[in-house]
Every structure is written in C-alpha cells, then in structure tokens.
Structure 1
Amino acid sequence: MTDPVALTADLVRCQSVTPQEGGALDLLANRLAAAGFTCVRVDRDGIANLFARWGKKGAARTFGFNGHTDVVPVGDASDWSVDPFGAEQRDGYLWGRGATDMKSGVAAFAAAAMDFVTETPPDGAVILTLTGDEEGDATDGTAALLDWMDAQGEAMAVCLVGEPTCPQTMGEMIKIGRRGSLTARFVATGVQGHVAYPHRAQNPLPVLVRLLDRLASHELDTGTDYFDASTLAITTVDTGNPATNVIPAICRATINIRFNDAHNAASLTDWLRQEAAIATDGTGVEISLTTQVSGESFITPPGPLSDLVAQAVQAETGVSPVLSTSGGTSDARFVRHHCPVVEFGLVGKTMHQVDEHVDIEQIKVLKRIYQRILGDYFALSQ
C-alpha cells in the first residue's frame, strides 16, 4: 500500500515555488513508473509538466486526475513556526508550504491510482496530468499538457481535479464549475496643470472616479441556475502624483470581475468600453482600456461524473456533498475544453497562509475516496 502521508511529506520537502520544479515531478515520475505508468515530461517554455498513463493509449474508459506541485512563495520564513519545507508532523497535522494546496491532493490521487492499478488492474486507462505552473501565469502548465495530449492522440474520458474544495468539513463540497475572471485596466489621460488654475488643465480623476463608481454600483446579474451573482471589485486607483498643487495628467485604475454564465469576457469588455465612452463624452479626457482574461465561466452540469464522486464521498465520510461553483479559478478551466471535469479535495482553510498545514487523517480519507471513485468508475464499464 502506498502511504499518501509519506508521499505528501516527500513532496512538501521539494522546494517547488513557481516556476521551479524543485524535484517534485521527478519524484512522482519515479514512483509512478515503478507502478507501471508510462511517464513523459511535457515541459514548455521553462515550465515542468508530467504526463503519466497506466493502461492502453486510446482506451475508451480512461479516468484522469489533474493537479499541480508548484506552490506560492513562503513570504518571510521567520514568520513561520516551522520550516516551510520541513514537512513536520505534529498535533495530527503535516506542516509546510503546499501541504494543503495541493501536494496532499496530488499525493492522495497518485497513491490511489498506483494502488488501484496494482491491486485490481482495470479494463481501461488511468491518466495523471501534473503541472508546475498552476500558481503562476498557467499558460504553460495544464494548457501545455492538453496541447501535447491532443497532438499525441491521448485523451481522458473524464477528469477529477484534486484542488481543496471543502470550506470547513471534509466531504462537504464538490466544484462542478467556476466563475470566469476578467481584469480590466483603465488609463485616463487629461492635461496637467496648476490647481490654482484648473481651467488651464483637464483633470482625469473626476472622470475616472465617476466611471468607477458607475461600474461598482451596477448590478451585473442576480445569479443563474448554478452560479451566485457576478461581482465587480475596484482593486487599485493610482496617479503617482506626490504634489498637492498639481492636477495630474494621467490616472490609472484596475478592476476585477468574477462572472457567471450570464456573461462572457467579450460581452463584459464591450460593456466596459461603452461605459468608458459615456463617462468621457464631452469632458476632453480620454480613457483607454486593456483586459486580461484568466478564464471564462464554465459548468459541468450535474450528472454521471458528479454523481460518481458524490457517492464515493458519502460512502467514505458520511457527508453528502453540495455541488458548487464558488471560489476562484483553477486548472479545471483548461480541462473543461477536453472532457467533463469536476473538482474534489480536502479542506482548504490554510492554503497560501503562513504555517500552512493539513489534517493527516484527511489525506488518508482523500486517498480512500479517490480509490473508491476509480473502482466505481471502472465497475460501470463491466
């Protein structure tokens, strides 16, 4: 039996701060290869990724797992009460950067997959896609793996992303979709001048502030069947002006919109441009807009895949999970173009925090859930 706690500890000791591989994927490749998986490094533009498959290429019944081994920086290490990469175990917890997000999830599904194919070799294939670029820009991580798979004729029929999904209690939540994320940057340009002679200047600040208030006050929607209401947050307003007697020529602002399936990035960008045009009409101030889309909203409607996961969670924890689309973005936004995808993992309360830690018992339970999912999935094909 593969110990998922020991494997988590080994992964935590790998200093794989994005974009460094830190030995984490090499460690997994060695363990998976020893269990009979075909392992291929799929690196792109300096980012390390790993593809691993047990079973025949092109098998009709192919279950996939997706996860990442990269972690966010530790910050000031002196703020930690433990070595951030020491994987110390005490008080029933395993401590260290990535312990929760998401080396424990990766260890649990890797251990489940290795034991499953060894004990009850299925009629089909099991695929693991592992990246070192989820916490960064994510352009060369799971996206690169899926591009490579398409080119090689590799495919998953369904996929489970092992991100932490439970807010408070193990088993309480499965993610069946995610909101989209759009960042918009405005640059308002006027004419610099002396505050005592405002008629000789064109202050961009009032125009931009009125625009921001209009945007923040607007109700984008009231929610949809599977999503809460979309939200818009002003994240920064900057002039870079240290003087109290100078009207600035330029002011910048950034907003972020987390949007549901009532919108897409293109429709939201069109709306922002229209609002900017209304705000500047007749003012002499110009506003330019650039946008960055981290992902569109998506949903895997409740059905066979979410039922499969929910039944396994219920069987191992006694908890009936809710289906949710809450939270930020994840690599499921890339996988959803390839196959049906849901997310399930442990409680994520300490992810990205100082003294990040994971309940050791949850790692063991998570492995059992993943192994039950595999058994139930392949049993359906018999």
Structure 2
Amino acid sequence: MPADIQDVKQVAEELGAKFEEFKQKNDKRVDSLEAEKGKLVEQVEGLNEKLGALDELKSALEKEIAGLKRPDGTGTKAANEHKTAFMQFVRKGVDTGLGELQAKALQIGVEADGGYAVPEELDRAIIELLRDESPMRQVCNQITVGTPDYKRLVNLGGAGAGWVGETAPRPETGTPALAQINAFMGEIYANPQATQTSLDDMFFDAEGWLNSEVGREFSEMEGSAFLLGNGTNKPKGVLAYPLAVTGDKTRPYGTLQKLISGTAGAFNGDKLIDLVHALKAGYRSSATWMMNNLSVAYVRKLKDSDGNYLWRPGLEVGQPSSLIGYGITENEDMPDIAADANALMFGDFKRGYTIVDRIGTRVLRDPYTNKPYVGFYTTKRVGGMLVDSQAIKVLTLSAA
C-alpha cells in the first residue's frame, strides 16, 4: 500500500477510535451526577475538538493525494509553443509573437483592452484548483463554454398521456411547457504581485505561483457567489432564489422548498429525517448535506430515539463524514445556526445547480503601478444558475 494512502488509513482508524471514546464520554456526561459533570464536559469538548481536527486532517490528506495524482497533461505543438511564449511574457514581459501563437493555439486574437489569454492547459489547471478549494465546485455540475453567456431549455412538464382501447380514438395530448433559463454571469478578477527579482530566478515556479495565487483568490470570491450571490455582475447563488414551504407538485419552477425546524435557531434529528424525505427518491442516491463547521459540531451531538448518534466519521479513504447515512460537504459560507437562518441544505447539487466557466482566463502584466512589484491583472468570466429546483431542500431554523 502506498505511503500516502497508508497515512490516510491511519488517520481514519484514529478518527474511529476517538469517535467511540467521544460517544462513551458524551453518554456518561448526560447521565452523570452533578458533581462529576464539570470534568466530563471538559473531556467531551476536548474529544469533540480532536474529532474535528482528525476529520480535517483526513480531508486534507485526501486532497493532497488528489493533487499529486492530477496529470500534468501535454498538448499539441501549437499549444506547447503558446505556453512557452506565455511564460516568457510572465517572467520577462516579452510578448513578441505571442499574439500569433495565441491565435494559432486557441483560435482567438488579442482583445482590444489588452492582456493575453492563459494557455488552455494552465486555464484548465486553474479550474482544477478552484474545484479543489471550493465546496460548491466539488458537488455542483460544471460546464465550460466558449461564449460570454449560457442559456438552456428546461421542460416544465405538461405533455400529458392517457389510456385508450384498441379501437378508441387517440385525442391530442398537451404540449410540454418549455422555459429558457440563463446563467447569471460575471467577471471575476485577481491581481497577484511578484517582484521582478523572483520572476528572474530560474528556480522560481512562476507557473505554479500564478495558478495557486489566482486559484485561491478566485475561489474565495466565487464560492460565496455560488451560494449567496445576488446575480448582479456575479453568479446567482442557490440561497438567493426564492423559498417556499409548498411541495414539489404545487411550487413554481425556480423556487426552492424550505422546511421549518419548529424552533428558532435550533433543530433536532426528526427535522433532518423530514428534510431527507422531502427530497424525491430519485435525487437521494446522489444527495449530500451542506453546512458550515459550527453546524457540523452541532449535529455531532444529535441522537435518534434509540440513543444512536446520527453523525458518523468517514473511516475509509475518500469517504466523508456522514449524517443519517448521507455525506456532509462543509461550506463556511453557509449561514451559522441562528434564528431564521437557512443553516442546512440537503440535495443532489449536481442536478440542482450548474456552474458555468468561460474558457479563456486573461492576464494583463503591469510592471509600472506598484514598483518593484509586477502585477498580473487576471480576469475570468464565470456564472451559475439553479437548474432543477426540486433537487435541493433547505432547513430554515424558525419557530413557525
């Protein structure tokens, strides 16, 4: 077994052992005498923190392994020539012939506002880095387009059908209702800075630096937009769409169903089960929870009527921690547990929400504005849209 896989396995085994210890101490805390309570509470909270640290370590190790396994990829001769010329532009600012190589490799020219398109291999590497960093990209559908905008048709139903006898007439059925939906697109930018001295250093990984800097800054901005963005010059986030308590049969397309917890700023295991079964069976096979880290700490302590914990740590490589048998995606942009907060979501996010990337990240090199630093003003067009409003459910922590 490779050493990196073995490391994850060891952490998972320790995670399982600590979870068993946590269960015993937490159960004892609940049943303990008042005189023993303080000491046990401290032990339980310490174990809960250890569980969180181990769970995060396991996820980090798995992410590192995925990064090591990602292929570098090689393109055509034209693509390789374009990449070599582009990196010369990044290091030295030399763009002689870069426009022609760009047009040859990508079939696009230099835009009037300046800057050059990142070579396709690097562009896709940035998207891969975004996928690693962004919880929304990990679970949602992603497509890449070559146009500034994206539209698609959805079937709202209504075709109709009926039963007939062998010789009975076949009346005309209804026509299916179609609707066109548009991705809410926006341009995201980053402006990482490096000194010319570091760029001149042959051992400085300029390509890796640019990818990581841009990927990190992009992921922080777009991750919030995919969840909460208002759709103005940015993607429209999942929780920015209207919510209603009505079920799938009567709720209009484009409106998400919310369930009410019954208690302001709190919920119990029964409400989680209700949320799971509000989702149609066809969606549940690929469904996952989404909540922030504080909410995960909250659900770790929930039990069913038989005293069994609803949360379980992921004890296998690649397996996330689970809640009522479904994986948990931690997203720190999700609202905290509070009165009237939409603190939990459950659904098949791949079917429910689509992220749209326009291929063609562009870079404008600026060695003048912030001397002795060289700025790389980097832009990328990205969007998002709700595609299937029946695929995602929301738990609102309200009394009524």
TM-score by length of 2: 0.22
Q: Relative contact order: is structure 1 or structure 2 higher (C-alpha 8 Å, sep ≥ 6)?
A: 1
Q: Between Structure 1 and Structure 2, which shows a larger proportion of helix residues?
A: 2
Higher Rg of the two aligned structures: 2
TM-score by length of 1: 0.23
